[in-house]
Each structure stands twice: as structure tokens, then as C-alpha cells.
Amino acid sequence: MIKRTFADIDRIKEITQSHPTPFHLYDERGIRERARLLKKAFAWNPGFREFFAVKATPNPAILRILKEEGFGTDCSSYTELLLSEAVGITGSDIMFSSNATQAHLYTLAHKLGAIINLDDFTHIDFLNSVCGIPKTICCRFNPGGLFTASTHVMDNPGDAKFGFTREQLFEGFRKLRGLGAQTFGVHAFLASNTQGNAYYPELARVLFNLAVELSRETGADIRFINLSGGIGIPYRPDDPAQDILAIGEGVRQAYNEVLVPAGLGDVALYTELGRFMLGENGGLITTAIHEKHIYKEYICVDANASNLMRPAMYKAYHHITVIGKEGAEATRVYDVSGSLCENNDKFAIDRALPPIDIGDILWIHDTGAHGHAMGYNYNGSLRSAEILLREDGGFELIRRAETPGDYFTTLVDPDVARMLEAQQPQPLT
């Protein structure tokens, strides 16, 4: 199967005239379509709300599109809260799902009126000492052990640092009630980038049963259940796509079987999807600048792992399309590498591709979530620009590329400051 590129060679050439590669390109139309599909899948639940996981794509232009679609934000850091505030997403439109939380983060989350999702039992007293316990509070659950769906192990929560144990959750709800909390939510994130459609329905069943017990045993008034993130995307062309309508239907069945008979049929469902929302709606556009023939065949490109860390960090597969050669046969086998002095800086290893010429543009797929956001400056690398392809066909620079000045800006060295002052200003592309 061929993976979709949402801009053709003419459009990409047009963009590169003013904005040199590498850059991440996002697709407004695809983002809106995905948002509407998600809302459709959960339309049966009147309180349904998606809180987009800001960490996946922390760009205000993206957050504004999602806000227009009715979404809130899921934040876990100080700057993510600020970004959310900057685009006018505040109050209960923010879910604050942090861990190892510093006091000033709770202060800001509280000031913004965010829904605070506690990661740990000890944070009850901590939050209380920082800003008091708000009327609405959420707690993050970690069931421990392995999380399985129809005998298939999805992930290992027992090894994860997040959340309350089961016992802590019951104790915590009682304690929070005693401290003035009036309405409650339950949250869990048990598996990442899940394939197939089983994860959400299985997770929902676990959380729904838990909510019924919590409400019976602690008397807590549970108003929402947050299924968090974790729905994957088909990174490989042959991976089956997740069917969000089937996922929504699976969750609805669990809801009707567990929550409705228990008298909890008005509980709202929340999600915090990052990858599923944005992953396929972004691509990293890079140019082949060298070929190298040693013990293997290399194509060297102008992007590197600082623009997309997932292959180096997780050995993640990202599909590559050679723009303009979509129909050509994949008769060569290449490693596609970046410039970092690290042998894991490879976007692809032993990848069958059409013959690549210097100057060819490569589209590295599915970089819209956890792509640019995970960028870093190792080796003095500068992070790339981000460009948004608008629904009307135009495009817009939504983050310029970093300059040497950006890289040096935190140094307090006077010689560096003098050198920068003597330099020509960098172009803003």
C-alpha cells in the first residue's frame, strides 16, 4: 500500500523556494477531518471531550485548529500550560496530567482553573499545601502487572512510574473527599501506540468497573473517566489502520454493560490523544545531499535525529517516500542517515527505495506527533521549521528554524555575545 503524502512535488517545490528543507509539514485538512471523526466515534456520549496532548505537537497554530474543533488541552509542564493559556484554552478546558510535579506547576494549573489529575497518593497533601484541593479532582490509576487485551500483552504498567495503586486510589478518594473535593474523575494510560482496536474498549472496561467500585465504596461522585492517549497509527504501509468508529462502539458497549446498570450512565468520557490526532498529519521534508558507498549504501539527508528522534530512540519505523518517484520500483537498498556523530542517526536501515539522486526530496511520514516536539540540540544541531498547509491550499510558517543565536542564547559568555553581535542577522526561515 502507498502511504499518503498531502502535498505533491509542485507544492513542495513552491514551499522550498522560500523555506529550505528540512521542515515539518502539517495538514490542516487532515487534522480537522481526524478531529471530526473522533467526535463522531464518541457522539453517543454527551459529555465527550478530547484534551489534545500538547506534548505531541506544542505549536499554537495547531492548538488553535483543535480549539476550533472544540478540543481542550492535556498539559504536563509549565510551558505547556503557558502555551495553552496563550491560545485561550483555560479553566476546565485544560487537563493537567503531570508527574514528579513541582509546586509552581500546581500553582499555575490551579490559577488557570485546570482540572488537576493527581499522579500519586502523596500529591494529595502536596497539592493541599500548595494551593488547596479543588472541588473537582482526578486521579491517575496504575493497575500494575501486565496489561493484556484478548491474551495479547499490550504493555507493562507494573514497570511504569505513573499513577496510584488500586488501594491508594480508594484511600485517596476518601481522603480527597475529607479535604473538600466534590466531583471526581479517573484516568489511566496503560499502553502506548497500540495497534488494532482493542485497547480503548479493554481499558474502558477496567476503568468503568473501577469507577463503579470507587463510587460504591467511597461515595465519591464520579463525573468523568479519562481514557487518555495510546491509540496508535499505522506507521508501516501494511499496518491496518485503527478504526476509531469501531473503537468508539467498543467503548460504548462496555459503558452500557458496566456503567449504565450501576446508575453511572451520565459519566462523561475524556480522551487525551496525541499521536492518533496528529501523527499522520505531519511529515518531515528533507533533501538528499550526499550518497556514500562503503560497506553499505547510504543516502545522507539534511535532516537528522534532532528533527525526529523516534528512529534513534525507539528504533521506530517511519515510512519514506521519494517525492516525484512515487510510482518507481524500489530497486535499491539504503540506509538513510543524518549528520549527527552517532551511528543511530539513521531514519531508515536497509530500506528498499527507488534509486535516489542528490537533490531528491524525501518525505519521512507520520512525524506530526512526537516529531519536532522531541527535538534536541545535540551536536549543536538546530531544530527545523514547522509549516502548516492550510485548508485553502496556502501554507504558513508556524515556527521558524532555529539559528545559531537561538542555540547560544542561554550562554552567559561575553565572547560569544560579542561574536553573535558581529554576525549578520540570520534569515527567519
Residues that bind ligand PLP (CB under 6 A): 53, 55-56, 74, 76, 97, 189, 192-193, 228-230, 272-276, 369
Rounded to the nearest whole angstrom, what is the least distance from the CB of residue 208 to ligand PLP in the complex? Answer: 19
Of 160 and 340, the one with the shorter C-beta distance to ligand PLP is 160
Query: Phi then psi for 259, rounded to 5 degrees?
Result: -80, -45
Rounded to the nearest whole angstrom, what is the least distance from the CB of residue 328 to ligand PLP in the complex? Answer: 33
Rounded to the nearest whole angstrom, what is the least distance from the CB of residue 147 to ligand PLP in the complex? Answer: 14
| Interatomic CA distance for residues 366 and 234, integer angstroms | 9
Of 74 and 345, the one with the shorter C-beta distance to ligand PLP is 74
- Residue number closest to ligand PLP, CB atom: 229
Of 59 and 218, the one with the shorter C-beta distance to ligand PLP is 59
Rounded to the nearest whole angstrom, what is the least distance from the CB of residue 179 to ligand PLP in the complex? Answer: 23
Of 16 and 136, the one with the shorter C-beta distance to ligand PLP is 136
Of 275 and 351, the one with the shorter C-beta distance to ligand PLP is 275
Of 139 and 362, the one with the shorter C-beta distance to ligand PLP is 139
Of 76 and 381, the one with the shorter C-beta distance to ligand PLP is 76
- Reported as half-sphere exposure (CB side, CA atoms, 13 A), residue 429 has a value of 10
| Interatomic CA distance for residues 206 and 200, integer angstroms | 10
Rounded to the nearest whole angstrom, what is the least distance from the CB of residue 135 to ligand PLP in the complex? Answer: 22
Q: Is residue 54 within 8 Å of 71, Cβ to Cβ?
A: no
Rounded to the nearest whole angstrom, what is the least distance from the CB of residue 98 to ligand PLP in the complex? Answer: 8
Distances (CA, A) of 182 to 55, 170, 189, 221, 291: 29, 15, 24, 7, 64
Rounded to the nearest whole angstrom, what is the least distance from the CB of residue 44 to ligand PLP in the complex? Answer: 21
Rounded to the nearest whole angstrom, what is the least distance from the CB of residue 402 to ligand PLP in the complex? Answer: 24
The backbone region for 106, taken as left when phi is positive above 0, alpha when psi lies in -120 to 50, beta otherwise, is alpha
| Interatomic CA distance for residues 358 and 370, integer angstroms | 28
Of 102 and 129, the one with the shorter C-beta distance to ligand PLP is 102
The DSSP string of 122-163 is HHHHHHHHHT---SEEEEEB---S-EEETTEEEE-GGG---S
Q: How many CB atoms lie within 10 A of CB 216?
A: 11
Of 23 and 199, the one with the shorter C-beta distance to ligand PLP is 199
> Can you say whether the dihedral through the CA atoms of 252, 257, 259, 264 is positive or negative?
positive
Q: Is residue 232 within 8 Å of 194, Cβ to Cβ?
A: yes
Which residue in 173, 91, 81 sits closest to 124, CA to CA? Answer: 173
| Interatomic CA distance for residues 261 and 359, integer angstroms | 63
Q: Is residue 120 within 8 Å of 142, Cβ to Cβ?
A: no
Q: Is residue 56 within 8 Å of 275, Cβ to Cβ?
A: yes
Rounded to the nearest whole angstrom, what is the least distance from the CB of residue 99 to ligand PLP in the complex? Answer: 8
